Amino acid sequence: MELSAAGRSAYGGNASNQVIWAWVNASGLDQPVERIAFINGIPRQRQVFHADGLGSIAALTDESGATVQTYTYAAFGSIRTRIGTDLNRVTYTAREAMGDSHGFFYYRHRIYDPTTGRFTSEDPLGFVDGANRVVYCANNPVNFVDPFGLEDINLYGPVTIARAASDLRKSGANEITVGGHGVCGDVIDLRTGRAQVITPSALAAEIKTLPNYGPNKTVQVGTCEGAKGDNSTAEQLSKLLPNPIKAATGKTVNDIEVDPSGRIVGSTPTIPDPNDKTSAWVTYQGGKLVTPSK
C-alpha cells in the first residue's frame, strides 16, 4: 500500500504496478472511509468501511448499502469471525494485515502479533512504559490503541484529529499524560463515541494500570479546565494518587506539529495565552495546591 503525499489516500497494485485499489482516509490517523476497485484503470466498485469504537473495521458495505463483509475480534485483535468472501486486509484498529500467513499487523515502528497480544520487538524508546518492552496497550486493548507501536490515556473520540494528534504524543520518562476534553473541573471520556464524565476514582484506577506508572511521576491532565473550581478532577486525583497532578484552570489547546506534507506528527497540550491569568497550569499533591506551574 502506498500513501499519497497528504496521507489521505492510499493505493495498492498488482505485480505490474497497475493500480487496482484506492483507499480514501479521513483526516485522522488510521481512519479509512472507503476503497475503490479499479479494473483496467476504470473505477468499478466502491466499498465503505464501518468502524467500531476502537477504530477496528466491523463491516464493509457496497454502494447500495448492502453488507459485503463483517468482522468480530478477540480482545487482542485476532479475527474471531469473518463473514463474507472479500479479501480486505484492513481490519483490527484499521491497520493492514501483513501479506503472510502469520496474521501480523504493521504498527509503523513495530510489528504486532494479535495471537500472543505482544509486539514482536522491544519498544525503541526503552523502558518508559515499564519493564515489559513488548507489551501492547498496557494489556488493556479493549480501551487503548497504539497506532505507532509507542504509547498514555487518550480520552478523545475515536474519529477525531485531536485523537490522532494525542496518539502521537509520547510521555517523557518522568510524566504520565491524559489527553481529552474537560469542562468545569470534570474530564470527559469520548472513547466509545458517547460523551460521559470519567470519575476521578475511575481515572486514578486506570492510571495505576499503565505499565509506565510510578508514584513519583507527574500526571499531566491536558484537558481544558481540569483544575477549575473546588473539587476539580486534578484536586481529587491528588487525593487518590501520591503523584503530583498538573492541570489547567482554564482552556488548553493541542499545539499540533505537522511535517512539510501537512501530516500530523506530534502534539503538546498548551494554554492558549500564557498571559491570560484565567488559564494557567497548576499542580496539586496530597489534595493541596502546591504551586502554579510554568
Given 89, 120, 136, which residue is the final one in a domain?
89
In the chain, which ranges are continuous DSSP H helix?
161-167, 200-209, 233-240
| Burial class of residue 89 (count of CB atoms within 10 Å of its CB; 0-12, 13-18, 19+) | middle
Share of the chain above pLDDT 70, in %: 69
Read off the pLDDT of each residue in 123-132 and give the average, rounded to a whole number.
54
Could you count the other beta carbons within 10 Å of the beta carbon of residue 194?
9
> Is residue 121, in this structure, part of any structural domain at all?
no
Residue linked to cell 518492552: 133
57, amino acid identity: I
Same domain, 77 and 183: no
* Angle subtended at Cα 268 by Cα 166 and Cα 159, rounded to the nearest 5 degrees: 20
**Domains identified in the chain, total number:** 2
> Is residue 288, in this structure, part of any structural domain at all?
yes
Same domain, 168 and 62: no
Given 47, 74, 89, which residue is the final one in a domain?
89
Residue linked to cell 504524543: 169
Same domain, 85 and 171: no
Q: Which long-range contacts (CB under 8 A, 24 or more apart) does 48-53 make?
A: 49/90, 49/94, 51/94, 51/158, 51/159, 53/158, 53/191, 53/192, 53/193
Same domain, 182 and 78: no
C-alpha neighbours within 13 Å on the C-beta side of residue 62: 10
Same domain, 47 and 165: no
- Position 169 scores a pLDDT of 60
Residue range(s) defining the domain that contains residue 78: 2-89
Residues 13, 38: Cα–Cα separation, whole Å: 10
pLDDT digits (tens, 9 = 90+) for 223-276: 889 999 999 999 999 999 999 999 999 888 767 666 666 555 666 767 766 666
Read off the pLDDT of each residue in 115-129 and give the average, rounded to a whole number.
69
User: Binning pLDDT at 50, 70 and 90, where does residue 5 land?
Assistant: very low
pLDDT digits (tens, 9 = 90+) for 177-187: 888 888 899 99
pLDDT digits (tens, 9 = 90+) for 6-20: 344 455 555 555 657
> Is residue 98, in this structure, part of any structural domain at all?
no
